[in-house]
Amino acid sequence: MNQAADETTIARVQTLRAQLQAASYAYYVLDAPDLPDEVYDRLYRELQDLEAAHPDLVTPDSPTQRVGEKPATQFTSVRHNIPLYSLENAFDLTEFRAWEDRWRRQAPTVGKVEYVAELKIDGNALALTYENGVLVRGVTRGDGVSGEDITPNVRTIRSIPLRLNTDTPPPVVEVRGEAFLPLDVFEQINAEREARGEALFANPRNAAAGTLRQLDSRIVAARRLDFFAYTVHLRDEEMKEKEHPSSSSPSSSSSPSPSTPPSPSPSPSPSSQWAALDLLQTLGFRVNPNRQLCQSETEVQAYFNEWDTKRAQLSYLTDGVVVKLNDFALQQQLGFTQKFPRWAVALKYPAEEVPTLLEAVSFQVGRTGAVTPVAELRPVQLAGTTVARATLHNADRLAELDIHQGDTVIVRKAGEIIPEVVRVLGELRPEHATKATMPTHCPQCASALVKPEDEAVTRCINSSCPAIVQGAIIHWARRDALDIEGLGEKWVKQLVEQGLVQSVADLYGLTVEALLPLDRMGQKSAQNLVDAIAASKTRPWASVLYALGIRHVGTVNAKTLAQHFPTVAALATASPDEIEAVHTIGPEIAQAVFQWFRVPANQTLIDRLQRAGLQLAASPEEQAQLAPGPLAGKTFVLTGTLPTLTRPEASAIIEAAGGKVTSSVSKATDYLVAGEKAGSKLTKAETLGIAILSEAELVAMAGPQTA
C-alpha cells in the first residue's frame, strides 16, 4: 500500500476520472447516459482502489470526492437540508461481508442485529417536505447537495399524499423515496415517442427522470409516475444530523428509548427502520410491500436470491436489494462517510449481458415508415426470458457496431425492455463473413428508402406500403385511440394482405361476409369485429385526432388541439402560426399538423371518415370536458363534514372548475375531499393510494374563479 505512483498509474487515474466525469455529465445533466451502469460502477471502483493505494493522487475534484454532477438549470436549485447520500454497492457475498466487517469494527460491542431488506427501486430519489402536514416542496436528488425544485410535478404523482394522514403533524417532516415509472407506462411512452419519430428513452429510470424534469406538469400528470417512500426525517432529528453530519461517536438517540411507553400521538418518532416504514405507510405513503425484517445474514441472502427470480414479475424495475441496519440508535452511532451511510449497503444483481450468435439481420418497417435493423439471434436465456431478437436501433448504430453475419454478439437487457446488442466480439468473427448494411429499398414494398442527413431514422415514404398501412391500423385500434376491441395484429395482417383494407377508412366498409373468408374467422368473431368497428364511430374528436397518427401528435397534444380547434375544418384550415399560437404547441408540431392536412391522400381520408360517421368535431360534452378548468379530467369524491361548505356547494365548485364528482371511491377516483367524521371512504381511498384533500386544499386547487 501507499507506494509512490508510477507514470502508468497516474495516467490511468486521469483517464478514469475523465471517463467517469463525462459519463456522469451525460447521466445527470443531459439525462442521456452513454455508459452502462455496470461499466460505470467498475470504472468507479477501479479509481477508488487506485486512490486508496496512492492517497497522494486524490484530488478534490476526483469523481470519488463528490456525490454527483451539478443539476441542470431550468428549475430553481434548492439546497437539501440533509444531503441525499448514495449507497455503497456490494456485487457479491464477499463484498457484503466486507461491509459487515467494516461497520462491526466501528461498533465492536454490538452482537446480533436485525437487518431490513428492501428492494432497490431503479428510479429517481425525491425529497418531499411537509410543513404542518401539507406538502410544500418536492426536490430531485441533483448532485446530492442540492437538487431541483419540481414541486408542481411532484404534486401530480398520485401515490404522494398532498397532506399527511395525521391530526397532529410535526411542524416539518421530510420524506424520501424513489419516483419511478411502471413498465407498462414506460412502454407506452416509448411507443408514443416512436410514433412521433422521437428518440426513445433507454430505460424506465431515464424516462422517469425526463418526466420529472418536464416543465409542463400536465404532461407529467398524464404519465402515471409512481413513488415508494423509504425514509422519514422529523425536524428534531434533522437538526441533529445537521450538527453532526458524519458523527461516528455514540450519541444519545432522539428516538424514544425502548423503555419509553408508546406515545399516544399518531406519529411518534420511530426508533427503527422497520417502524419508520410502518409510520410512512400510516402517514399515507406507498411503501414497498416486499420488505423483510431479517434476523441474520443468511436471511438477507435468502431474500436477495428469492427476489433475483421474482423481480421479473414486478411491474417496475429493481436492480438490487438495499440492506439497512434496523436499529436507529446503531445507525446514529455509525453515522456517514463523506458519501455513504455506514449502516446500509446496496447488494446489486449482476449485469444482465450474455453472448450469443447472430444468425441474421432483418429489417422491420414501423407505421411511420421507420426501418429498424433487428438482430435475429440464437435464442438465449436473459433476465428470466428467452431472447431471440434484439434491436440494432438504426443505420448509424449498425455501422458503428460493424456487425457481420455469424458474429458473436453481447446482448443486454438491463433496464431496457427491448433487448439490444451492446457490442460485437470481433475476434470471434468467422472468416469471409459479410457485413450487415441497411437496405436501399423497403423490404416490404420495394420502394426506395430515404434517410435525411441530420436524422438517425431511415424511412419508407410510400404511404401504401403494407407495413405502414398495418401499423397505421394497429395504432388506430389502440385502447387510447379508437379502442377497437379484438382488432389485433393477426387480423390486421390478414386484412391488409388480402387487400380488404388499404386505409383505416376501409374498416368502416367491412361486413361479416367480407370477413368470413379470413383464416380462422368464424361468424361470431366476424360479427363482434364489425360491431367493435361500428362502436369506434362514437369515440370523441380528440381520440380520432390522435388515431390519425400525425407526427408529434400524441394523446396530450391531440387533446390540446381538439380543445382549440373543435372541428376538423378549423384545424385543417389553420395556418402554422395559428396552430403554434396554442399554448404548449411548438413550431415542429404545428408544421407537422399543417403539412399533414396538405397531403391530398389525407384530405381524401378525412372525407371518407366524415362520410363513415366518425366524430370529427367535439360534441358539447366533449367541449366541456376539454375546457381547460384547473380540475378538468379529475374525479372527486366527497366524504365527512366539511368545515364551511355544504356538499352541493363543494360539488358546484368542483364542477365549475371542470372536475367531476362521483359518489363512491374506486381506482378511477383522483381525489377524496375529506372532512370531519370521514368513514369507510377515507379508509378505502387510503388503501388505493388516492390523494386526500381538505376543503381548503380543494378551494385552492379549484382556483380563484370559485372563491
Known catalytic residues? Answer: 120
What is the Cα–Cα distance from 208 to 415, expressed in whole angstroms?
12
Q: Can you say whether residue 605 is alpha, beta or left, with left for phi > 0 and alpha for psi between -120 and 50 degrees?
A: alpha
- Piece of the chain touching ligand IVH by CB under 6 A; list 115-123, 303-311, 420-428, 654-662: 115-123
- All residues at 6 or more sequence positions from 690 whose CB lies less than 8 Å from its CB, including other chains: 158, 665, 669, 670, 671, 672
120 touches ligand IVH by CB under 6 A = yes
What is the Cα–Cα distance from 75 to 612, expressed in whole angstroms?
48
Of the two residues 47 and 209, which places its CB atom closer to ligand IVH in the complex? 209
Question: Closest separation between CB of residue 30 and ligand IVH, Å?
Answer: 19
> What is the DSSP code string of 570-635?
HHHT--HHHHHTSTT--HHHHHHHHHHHHSHHHHHHHHHHHHHT---B--HHHHHHHS--TTTT-E
Question: Which segments of 135-232 does DSSP mark as H helices, in order?
Answer: 151-154, 183-195, 204-212, 217-221
What is the Cα–Cα distance from 207 to 181, expressed in whole angstroms?
7
Question: Closest separation between CB of residue 288 and ligand IVH, Å?
Answer: 7
CA distances to 3, 36, 507, 537, 617 from 607, rounded to whole Å, are: 81, 50, 14, 14, 13
- Piece of the chain touching ligand IVH by CB under 6 A; list 19-27, 114-122, 327-335, 416-424: 114-122
Question: Closest separation between CB of residue 106 and ligand IVH, Å?
Answer: 16
Residue nearest to ligand IVH (CB): 125
Of the two residues 194 and 238, which places its CB atom closer to ligand IVH in the complex? 238
- All residues at 6 or more sequence positions from 71 whose CB lies less than 8 Å from its CB, including other chains: 28, 29, 77, 140, 142, 143, 146, 147, 148
What is the Cα–Cα distance from 695 to 700, expressed in whole angstroms?
9
- 507 SS3 class: helix
| # chain residues binding ligand IVH, by CB under 6 A | 13
Positive or negative: CA dihedral 537, 540, 543, 549: positive
Extended strands (E) in 426-540: 449-450, 458-460
- Interaction mask 316-345, ligand IVH, x per CB under 6 A: ------x------------------x--x-
Question: Closest separation between CB of residue 300 and ligand IVH, Å?
Answer: 14
- Piece of the chain touching ligand IVH by CB under 6 A; list 119-127, 270-278, 474-482, 677-685: 119-127
Question: Closest separation between CB of residue 548 and ligand IVH, Å?
Answer: 40
Question: Closest separation between CB of residue 125 and ligand IVH, Å?
Answer: 3
Question: Closest separation between CB of residue 435 and ligand IVH, Å?
Answer: 40
Question: Closest separation between CB of residue 573 and ligand IVH, Å?
Answer: 50
365 touches ligand IVH by CB under 6 A = no
What is the Cα–Cα distance from 398 to 631, expressed in whole angstroms?
47
Question: Closest separation between CB of residue 178 and ligand IVH, Å?
Answer: 5
349 touches ligand IVH by CB under 6 A = no
- The C-alpha cell at 483 is 379502442
Considering only residues 217 through 246, tell me which ones interact with ligand IVH, judged by CB under 6 A: 230
What is the Cα–Cα distance from 662 to 682, expressed in whole angstroms?
14
Question: Closest separation between CB of residue 228 and ligand IVH, Å?
Answer: 7
Of the two residues 147 and 170, which places its CB atom closer to ligand IVH in the complex? 147
Of the two residues 238 and 580, which places its CB atom closer to ligand IVH in the complex? 238
CA distances to 69, 212, 582 from 346, rounded to whole Å, are: 21, 24, 47
Among 37, 69, 118, 352, binds ligand IVH (CB under 6 A): 118
Q: Which residues of 625-648 are buried (b: 16+ CB within 10 A; e: fewer)?
A: bbeebebbbbbbbbbeebeebeee
143 touches ligand IVH by CB under 6 A = no
Considering only residues 78 through 107, tell me which ones interact with ligand IVH, judged by CB under 6 A: 85-87
Among 20, 47, 50, 125, binds ligand IVH (CB under 6 A): 125
What is the Cα–Cα distance from 56 to 42, expressed in whole angstroms?
22
Of the two residues 178 and 695, which places its CB atom closer to ligand IVH in the complex? 178
What is the Cα–Cα distance from 422 to 37, expressed in whole angstroms?
13
Among 20, 47, 50, 121, binds ligand IVH (CB under 6 A): 121
Q: In this structure, are residues 458 and 399 in contact, taking their beta carbons and an 8 Å threshold?
A: no
Of the two residues 322 and 574, which places its CB atom closer to ligand IVH in the complex? 322
β-bridge mates for residue 375, sequence order: 361, 390
Of the two residues 306 and 580, which places its CB atom closer to ligand IVH in the complex? 306
346 touches ligand IVH by CB under 6 A = yes
- 637 SS3 class: strand
Question: Closest separation between CB of residue 333 and ligand IVH, Å?
Answer: 15
Instruction: Give the DSSP letter of residue 64.
Output: G
Considering only residues 153 through 212, tell me which ones interact with ligand IVH, judged by CB under 6 A: 178
Q: In this structure, are residues 382 and 309 in contact, taking their beta carbons and an 8 Å threshold?
A: no
Which residue type does 338 have? Q
- Interaction mask 574-603, ligand IVH, x per CB under 6 A: ------------------------------
Question: Closest separation between CB of residue 321 and ligand IVH, Å?
Answer: 8
Q: In this structure, are residues 272 and 279 in contact, taking their beta carbons and an 8 Å threshold?
A: no
Tell the residue number behind the cell numbers 428492501, with chain if given: 118
- The C-alpha cell at 484 is 377497437
Of the two residues 121 and 545, which places its CB atom closer to ligand IVH in the complex? 121
- Piece of the chain touching ligand IVH by CB under 6 A; list 116-124, 302-310, 424-432, 510-518: 116-124
Of the two residues 322 and 424, which places its CB atom closer to ligand IVH in the complex? 322
- Interaction mask 391-410, ligand IVH, x per CB under 6 A: --------------------
- The C-alpha cell at 576 is 402554422
Of the two residues 234 and 346, which places its CB atom closer to ligand IVH in the complex? 346
Of the two residues 120 and 163, which places its CB atom closer to ligand IVH in the complex? 120
Phi, psi of 453 (to 5 degrees): -50, -45
- Piece of the chain touching ligand IVH by CB under 6 A; list 44-52, 113-121, 269-277, 351-359: 113-121
Of the two residues 87 and 414, which places its CB atom closer to ligand IVH in the complex? 87
Tell the residue number behind the cell numbers 467494516, with chain if given: 102
Binding site for ligand IVH (CB under 6 A): 85-87, 118, 120-121, 125, 178, 230, 322, 341, 344, 346
